[in-house]
Amino acid sequence: MNEQESVQVELRISYRYATAHPWVVQAIGGFLSAYFMEHPGFRVQRYMEELESGTHLWVCEVPTGMKFLRLLRRLKEDIPPCDAQQTATDPPARPRYLIDCAELPMES
């Protein structure tokens, strides 16, 4: 396998999370830029805000050997508590991850 091969991955932030923590959108953009400096082959191809849903979306190019979940773990250390999960997609579609507000534990 060629070292230069990569896959596209989507990182989304829910409208609810972006509204609760408005500074996070800029912080994640900065984090991804810094990650690019640390890991050759990783790059952000596109950023957009989906007006219909209010979600923020980064399309990233990730080397095939890189573990995207490791990036998410590091990111979660720098932002307010959140749930980060992979959303279901059909196999040919690129993997999608969603950051949303952390669910509070139910009180008994």
pLDDT tens track for 25-63:
999 999 999 998 888 899 999 999 999 999 999 999 999
Which pTM was predicted? 0.85
Does residue 3 form part of some domain?
no
**Gap between the Cα atoms of 104 and 108, Å rounded:** 12
Return d(Cα 93, Cα 88) in angstroms, integer.
10
Asked if residue 107 is part of any domain, the answer here is no
Residue 46 resides in a domain: yes
Q: Which domain holds residue 90?
A: 16-101
Q: What one-character DSSP code corresponds to residue 53?
A: T
Number of domains in the chain: 1
Helix 24-38 vs helix 68-78: angle between axes, to the nearest 10 degrees?
Answer: 130
Query: Chain centroid to CA 107: how far?
Result: 30
Q: How would you list the strands of the sheet with 43-49, edge to edge?
A: 43-49, 56-63, 6-13, 96-101, 82-87
Digit-coded pLDDT (tens) for 59-107: 999 998 888 999 999 999 999 999 999 988 777 788 999 999 987 655 5
Task: Decide if 4 is inside a domain.
Answer: no
